[in-house]
Structure 1
Amino acid sequence: MSEFISHIGGLAEAGERMIERLRKKAFLPESRKGLSVRIGIAEVASLLGCSTNRIRMAEEDGRLPSPTPTTNGRRPGYSIEQILHMRKVLGASPARSPMDEPAIIAVQNFKGGVGKSTVTTHLAHYLAVQGYRVLVVDCDSQASTTTLFGFNPHFNITRDETLYPYLSIDPTQEDLRYAVKRTPWPNVDLIPSNLELFDVEYELAAAGADGQSVLTARFRKLKQGLNELARDYDVVLLDPPPALGTISLAVMQAANALLVPLAATTPDFCSTVQFLSMMDQVLQQLLAAGIAIDYSFVRLICSKFDSNDPSHALVRAFMEQTFGPALLPVPILESAEISHAAIRMMSVYELAKPIGTSKTHKRCRANLDEALGQVEQLIRQSWGRVAPASEAEAIYAV
């Protein structure tokens, strides 16, 4: 038996070494991802809801720095940091007001392989492009989201940099600020995870055997810690484990909105139905224990949808009939561009240029913008707002 255990350990170590090789090959020499994406003036104007002429005028009168032309004399694209500055100067920030409650969204499903971490990462980067301040909290010890953000959970992240020191039975941290890490995105921060975060599950399960008071205290503690951190952000995205455990329960209670990704296959559909049934029972028990649960929205989003697969279309029809308006109308399409970006431990929004064909990249990006834009609108609705009007709509409105 020990020989088999040793063999499994060897496989794990070989896998970790390969991940580190891929990471070093994909990232900059300092082993951190850089954000080299640039956005053209036409797309920036669309993001800001103004005309390109308004941007040029602001550059001419000195309110915005004039861009340095490229070597061939062409106008360069703008970095995310430059666009955030432009939003401030031109009054085009979508940030919530101090009276608006930050959106704390759990991206949850107990079925693995539905693209939970991919959805979380792409949603974070989509919201960043739109100008929101985002915090991503990786609550899953498998740490897929941490990896997509450019950290190797095995080599770069210690247990003391995860949620563990805050949630453990013998906590060493009083708030969560110790765990917040900067990312290459100027308006996206991350609380990472690694395998050792699973120790919290063992500790809390053992404590729960002697009574529920410790569990209840940890549920409330995570919510309190996230609420304190959320004051500095517009949106907090939680990526919990794909299983019903103490951390998943704590995340459910800490969130004020729920997004459920599911793939268009019969097993995923059936599993999600079971997840919703189990979640209903758990929430009822939490409410009975005096733990408040209040979601501004609960939505399902179909991920990894292949529009050319008749079986996917059939299962999606089942979803529409079953879930009605709770299912977001635009699915996230299966795309080689998402897969290619994932190999590089990136999201599509981080690609400086297409990996596949330009047509494939544009189609993928347009779909992601539309699908994830649905979530943005739910967030804005929870703040009592609708989509901001463009400059043209404001001028020519009747």
Structure 2
Amino acid sequence: MKRPAYLAVHPASHHPVQSESVDLRTIADFGAACEAIAMPLQTNRTQVNGSRLFSTWEITRYLIPVDPVHLRRVLRQNPDLPQGKSRGEAGSKWFSLQEVRQLKAFFASTGTKARAYLPYRPPGLPPCSAVLANSTAESGKTTTCAHLAMAAAQDGYRVLAIDLDARGGLTRLMGAETGEEWQTVLPLVGRHYVEHLQMLNRLRLERGETPVPIEAGLERALGLRPSDLAQPTRWPGVDVIAAGPDLSAADLRIAGWRLQARTWKFWTSLASALTQDSLSDRYDLILFDTPPALGHLSMAGMAAAQALLVPLRARPQDLAETGRFMTMLGSAFGTVEEDEALAARAIGGDPARFSWEAVRAVLTRHDPARESTAAEAAQAALGSLLWSDRLPDSPFVTQTRAIYDTDYRETNRETYAAAREGVDAIYAAFKRLMVDSWQRAETVEPDTMSGAPHDG
């Protein structure tokens, strides 16, 4: 009989090895080795300038509301338009997403006014913004965020995706370079802190007090704007402010800055950066992807967004964890409101109030065969707060692969269309929030409008 090996482990049979010391260099080498192994194992797909090609079937079904015959006729009549490349299927032409965007613009300027070739975007209004948050591991935040960014870009919007998670999942999925500390969002928070500390130091000097020294090198953040940190991705229409391992210390840095300036409202830092540096001419949508924790940086992202999206799995443990997260979120922002209310009463100012235009939950990696009971219970409990459409459990909808990044020839049209249907429905629900937000903003006087909403 073969017994388990652990029964044979005891001092008499075990030969101790020389003790080893594992330092931070070993940890770094471990991480670098894993990344180096993973890189050549990743799926290689057909790409043009980093983004895959789209067939005339996909374009006329999903991207431009025209008949395939009409599209081919327009291309023949307008040789200056992108003509695509012949690939595989008889008579089918394939186009890059940048070429698709050129075609959309052409049809918008020359096609029938009865069809919307370009998405609704009233001029002069700030971008819409949303943050995806949940402390539950594998809740689908990054997957949902990436799919929304890609869907919006395919629809014709210009997107800025801000990765607040030091693991950089969104950064990698979008094909961007992992950012070191000064390429992440942290300098925007640092800029806000330095501006506040400079104001406090001016007051200290007026009172004859010694100013608080500014951390060495941090003043360089004063010249940085979101557009300086945004880098293009392999998806035309999507830029990203990247994340990387250096961002893991962000909450500690912010906590230290808060100790130096206790009146500094760190939660307004990202909202301030996005409103002071007008992004209306560059972007239509800003998305924040947060880590699975509620820290200073996550709170700044949440306070900067108009909509709060909560991805979760339809499983009892995930529902329970999401409930605890939302309770914790309410408590954290509630504590800030209480503290600010005390300060406001002392100086006669307005108290802080946190609010979002919309809060929605979305079920991710949903398998109706296994999770229908939990999904129905969640829908009954949350009502309209939970979208009725689900992000499907599919090998084409994951944190490392997007359905929009998948060439349907890897499977077949029917399988591809079935996987895409649920994702498109989630984007449609999200787009309705965007359109509603802009329509409400159009009724507001220009001088009372702000960009991303925050406290106050």
TM-score by length of 2: 0.73
Q: Which whole-Å deviations, capped at 9, do the CAs of 1:123-146 have from their partners, x for residues lacking one?
A: 111111111111100011121111
* Correspondent of 2:251 among 201, 216, 236: 201
Unaligned runs of 5+ residues in structure 1 are 386-398
Q: Secondary structure at the match of 1:172?
A: helix
Amino acid at match of 2:381: T
- More displaced, 231-240 or 291-300? 291-300
Measured after TM superposition, the shift of residue 264 of structure 1 is 0.9
What is the letter of the counterpart of residue 167 of structure 1? V
| Structure 1 letter corresponding to 2:394 | S
Match of 1:372 in 2: 427
Q: Which stretch of the first structure deviates more once superposed, 39-48 or 270-279?
A: 39-48
Query: Whole-Å Cα distance in 1 between the matches of residues 314 and 136 of structure 2?
Result: 13
Q: Which residue of 2 aligns with 1:300?
A: 361
Cα deviation, residue 346, structure 1:
3.6
Q: Hey, what does 2:35 align to over in structure 1?
A: 19
Residues in 2 aligned to 1:60 and 1:40: alpha-carbon distance in whole angstroms = 14
Give secondary structure in 2 for the equivalent of 1:220: helix
Residue 290 of structure 2: aligned partner: 240
Q: Using the TM superposition, give the Cα deviation of residue 192 of structure 1 relative to its aligned residue in structure 2, in angstroms.
A: 0.3
1:128 corresponds in structure 2 to: 153
How much does 1:348 deviate? 1.9
1:363 and 2:418 equivalent? yes
**1:257 maps to 2:273:** no
Describe the superposition over 1:342-369 as per-residue Cα deviations: whole angstroms up to 9, x where unpaired. Answer: 5xx4422112345456543332112211
Cα distance in 1 for residues equivalent to 2:35 and 2:65: 41
Residues 140-289 of structure 1 correspond to what in structure 2 (within 5 A)?
Answer: 140-151=165-176, 153=178, 157-168=179-190, 170-173=218-221, 174=223, 175-209=225-259, 212-214=262-264, 216=265, 218-227=266-275, 228=277, 230-231=279-280, 232-288=282-338, 289=340
Distance 1:198 1:129 in 2: 32
The partner residue of 2:99 within 62, 82, 88 is 82
* CA distance 1:33–1:285, change in 2 (3 Å): farther
Q: Cα distance, 1:295 vs. partner?
A: 1.9
Tell me which moved more, 10-19 or 80-89.
10-19
- On the 8 A contact 1:256/1:296 being kept in 2, the answer is yes
After superposition, the Cα gap between the structure-2 partners of 1:55 and 1:252, relative to the gap in structure 1 and judged at 3 Å, is same
Q: Is 1:337–1:355's contact at 8 Å kept on the other side of the alignment?
A: no
8 Å CA contact retained: 2:176, 2:234: no
Q: Partner amino acid for 1:313? A: S
5+ residue gaps, structure 2: 1-18, 109-116, 194-217, 341-350, 441-456
Three-state SS of the structure 1 residue aligned to 2:427 is helix
Aligned equivalents of 1:5 and 1:151: distance in 2? Answer: 35
C-alpha displacement of 1:27? 7.8
- Structure 1 residues 62 and 358: CA distance shift in structure 2, 3 A: closer
The one-letter amino acid paired with 2:358 is F
User: TM (normalized to structure 1)?
Assistant: 0.83
What amino acid maps onto 1:336 in structure 2? Answer: P
Matched, 1:329 2:385: no
What CA distance in whole angstroms lies between the structure 2 residues aligned with 1:66 and 1:195? 40
Identity among equivalent positions (%) equals 21
Secondary structure in structure 1 of the residue aligned to 2:366? coil
Residue 375 of structure 2: aligned partner: 316
Instruction: Return closer, same or farther for 1:130/1:274 CA change in 2, 3 Å cut-off.
Output: same
Could you give the per-residue CA deviations for residues 224-271 of structure 1, whole angstroms, max 9, x where no partner exists?
222335321111110122211110111111111111001111111011
**1:5–1:313: structure 2 CA closer, same or farther, 3 Å change rule?**
farther
List aligned pairs for 1:47-66, cutoff 5 A. 47-62=63-78, 65=81
Do the aligned residues in 2 keep the contact of 1:162 with 1:197 (CA within 8 Å)? yes
TM-superposition CA deviations, 1:180-233 (whole Å, max 9, x none)? 10111110101000111122211221233455323x0x3323112223353211
Q: Secondary structure at the match of 2:420?
A: helix
Classify 1:32/1:141 alpha carbon distance in 2 versus 1 (closer, same or farther; 3 Å).
farther
What displacement does 1:377 show?
A: 1.8
Q: Partner letter of residue 379 of structure 2?
A: E
Question: Aligned-pair distance for 1:11?
Answer: 5.8
Q: Which has the larger radius of gyration?
A: 2
Q: Cα–Cα, structure 1 residues 172 and 291, in superposed 2: closer, same or farther, change >3 Å?
A: farther
CA RMSD across the alignment: 3.0
The aligned counterpart of 1:391 is none
By how many angstroms is 1:105 displaced? Answer: 0.3
What is the CA–CA distance in structure 2 between the aligned matches of 1:171 and 1:225, rounded to whole Å?
15
Following superposition, the deviation at residue 99 of structure 1 comes to 3.9
Whole-angstrom distance in 2 between the partners of 1:20 and 1:210: 40
Q: How does 1:374-389 map to 2 (within 5 A)?
A: 374-384=429-439
Identify if the C-alpha distance between structure 1 residues 69 and 304 changes in structure 2 by more than 3 Å, giving closer, same or farther: closer
Rounded to whole Å, the distance in 2 between the matches of 1:190 and 1:316 is 33
Shift of 1:79: 2.0
Distance 1:5 1:268 in 2: 38
Measure, in 1, the Cα distance between the counterparts of 2:411 and 2:68: 29
Pick closer, same or farther for the CA change 1:47–1:298 going to 2, 3 Å.
same
Question: Partner residue of 2:207?
Answer: none
State the aligned residue count.
Answer: 372
Tell me, in whole angstroms, the C-alpha distance in 1 between the residues paired with 2:70 and 2:52. Answer: 25
For 1:64 and 1:44, how far apart are their aligned partners in 2? 20
